[in-house]
Amino acid sequence: DAKTTQPPSMDCAEGRAANLPCNHSTISGNEYVYWYRQIHSQGPQYIIHGLKNNETNEMASLIITEDRKSSTLILPHATLRDTAVYYCSINGGSNYKLTFGKGTLLTVNP
Amino acid sequence: GAVVSQHPSWVICKSGTSVKIECRSLDFQATTMFWYRQFPKQSLMLMATSNEGSKATYEQGVEKDKFLINHASLTLSTLTVTSAHPEDSSFYICSAPHPQSYGYTFGSGTRLTVV
């Protein structure tokens, strides 16, 4: 069940901002938008999540459109270590099962 | 904080044998644990949800008799792959809800190779 749609791959220059889009047009009112990333052969790492307001933490910013049907994850100054598969997911919060789409492979180039 | 420790990180076993994978929540109590499987170059696929003190809930198409899940305490959930076959070779990952947020904490994964 493809609840989210992401581009399969993106490239970004080191030091530049990386903007990763996600479409989630079927999101319901109580569902959050989550972003995770997975570096090769490791477990996913939590990045950020939001409900309807834009969010920012030490890793990234999350911009959610007013209709909540899409969002953008922003890595303000991408580094080589940010090369990973980035997953956007929607669900109702803790204890709700978290499923993943195909994600976006972000490659940060020197 | 909120670390999930997963062991082993990798295992090689012979066809027909069973393999147990453990996930421990080190500094919090995990009443729920999610188990995923990931094949090369594919996304994570949710296999089952384990709940402390009750039976696990399996996703459609996942054989509950083959993938035995036990969640006997608030800090330990195990996945046992029984009668393993080469097609069970995969990357298995566990996850638990983060206690202080609405996020989830993942284990480091177990690479299973069945020969």
The Cα–Cα gap between A59 and A42 comes to: 18
Which residues does chain A have within 8 Å of residue B45's beta carbon, measured at their own beta carbons?
Answer: 100
**pLDDT over 60 (residue A1):** no
Which residues does chain B have within 8 Å of residue A38's beta carbon, measured at their own beta carbons?
Answer: 44
Q: What is the pLDDT of residue B68?
A: 96
Closest-approach residue (CA) in chain A for B6:
A43
Asked if omega into A7 is within 30° of 0 (cis), the reply is no
Partner-chain residue, chosen from A34, A42, A97, that has the shortest CB–CB distance to B109? A42
CA distance, residue A47 to nearest chain B CA (Å)? 9
Cβ-defined contact of B102 to A42 (cutoff 8 Å): no
Q: What is the pLDDT of residues B23-82, one digit of tens each?
A: 999 988 888 999 999 999 899 999 999 988 889 999 999 999 999 999 989 999 999 999
Find the DSSP H helices in chain B. Answer: none
Q: What value does the mean pLDDT take over residues B104-115?
A: 95
Q: What is the pLDDT of residue B98?
A: 80
- Of residues B4, B36, B40, the one with CA closest to residue B22: B4
Which residues does chain B have within 8 Å of residue A34's beta carbon, measured at their own beta carbons?
Answer: 103-104
The Cα–Cα gap between A41 and A28 comes to: 32
Residue A97 pLDDT level (bands cut at 50, 70, 90): confident
Q: What is the pLDDT of residue B15?
A: 97
Run of H or E residues at A76: none
**pLDDT over 70 (residue A95):** no
Whether residue B70 contacts residue B77, with contact meaning beta carbons closer than 8 Å, is answered with yes
**pLDDT over 70 (residue A80):** yes
Which residues does chain A have within 8 Å of residue B9's beta carbon, measured at their own beta carbons?
Answer: none
Cβ-defined contact of B104 to A98 (cutoff 8 Å): yes
